[in-house]
Amino acid sequence: MPRNAYAGEPDSLSFLRILFVVNSVASSVTARRRVVIHKALSADHDVTLAETSRRGHATRLAQSAARESYDLVVVLGGDGTLNEAANGLAGSDTALATLPGGSTNVFARILGLPDDSVDAVGVLLDAIDAGSIRRIGLGAVEGRYFLFHCGIGFDAAVVEQVERRGPWKRWAGHPLFVYSAIDTWLRRIDRKVPPLRVIDAHGRETTRGFFTIVMNANPYTFLGNRPFDLVPELTLDDPLAVVTLEQIRLRSLGPVALAAMGPGDVRRRRDISVQTDVRSVVVESDPPAPYQVDGDHLGASKRLRFTWTPEHLALVIP
């Protein structure tokens, strides 16, 4: 990687070794898109194509790329595939770049990339040519890094239901998430007794709730084309933000959702807790709560420890 690339300055040494990682079963990935993007990347760079074949494969591919001193790993897939690649590259000098290939593509949208992956590759190549690569901070939960958030409780239960209907995700997209959210709220969670306890770095309980989101970036997600803003000022250079819904009744969820998608501020609500500048936090749950990382359901746990590490991943910033 050119030495001044992380500073965002142009560099004449623009010929890079790139590993192009493709998740061919991601929602919007097609053979034609893969070929077009591969040709675009290969016009000025040495590109090796690798397709993922199973869960966790992108992590191993990225780790190999770092060991073999590739300059860049470009991921065409959803947020789950991108998260795996980030875990393989964290702490290394090999940079990560994303192209939208999933159903929501939260992180690609956070970076301002077009929703269409063919349009996005042009923007990405311009950023590479400009040397727009810098190191960002990463959140981690029990050793698993995340790029934008980890959800504990309600939203993780929704993700679990979506993943159980995996074949539908490619075609149903957002309607499937909406259906799963309604089904989960009605039938799969206790809406009376808050199971989660948020404990700060000094061992003090700061709040209890039904649903906690530990954020490394904002927005939390997108509903259609609308961002769901919980901590608008949060950037990839800042420590974590911890958002906890202390109530999960419709009369609480509705106003929070409207504020997050509109001009309001969720922090004006009495039944929501927002903590910022968090470098370490623990979330405990009784019974064990489901949790998800960057949209991938990882199981359930009674205790999750979160940490934040600054400048831990080199990232192409369009």
pLDDT tens readout for residues 211-252: 999 999 999 998 888 899 999 999 999 999 999 999 887 777
Residues 221 and 102 in one domain: no
Domain assignment of residue 314, yes or no: no
Given a contact cutoff of 8 angstroms between Cβ atoms, the answer to whether 217 and 276 are in contact is: no
Say if residue 2's pLDDT is above 50: no
**189 and 285: one domain?**
yes
Q: Judge if 189 and 115 occupy the same domain.
A: no
Q: List pLDDT tens digits, range 159-185.
A: 887 777 665 555 555 676 676 667 776
Residue that the structure tokens 């500048």 belong to: 277
The candidate with the shortest Cα–Cα distance to 75, out of 221, 225, 223, 294, is 294
CATH number for 50:
3.40.50.10330
- Examine the domain organization and report whether 269 and 226 are in the same domain: yes
Q: What is the pLDDT of residues 96-114, one digit of tens each?
A: 999 999 888 999 999 999 9
pTM: 0.89
Assess whether 295 and 151 both reside in one domain.
Answer: yes
Last residue of a domain, one of 77, 107, 131: 131
Assess whether 103 and 182 both reside in one domain. no
- Supply the mean pLDDT for the chain: 89
- Residue 193 and residue 220 in one domain: yes
Same domain, 216 and 288: yes
User: Does 316 fall in a domain?
Assistant: no
Range of the domain at 97: 5-131
Q: How many domains does the chain have?
A: 2
Q: Which residues pair with 288 in a beta bridge?
A: none
Q: Verify that 19 and 53 share a domain, yes or no.
A: yes
107 in a structural domain: yes
Look at residue 139 and tell me if it is in a domain. no
The pLDDT confidence band at residue 157, using thresholds 50, 70 and 90, is confident
Residue 255 counted as domain residue: yes
What CATH number has the domain bearing residue 194?
A: 2.60.200.40
141: in domain: no
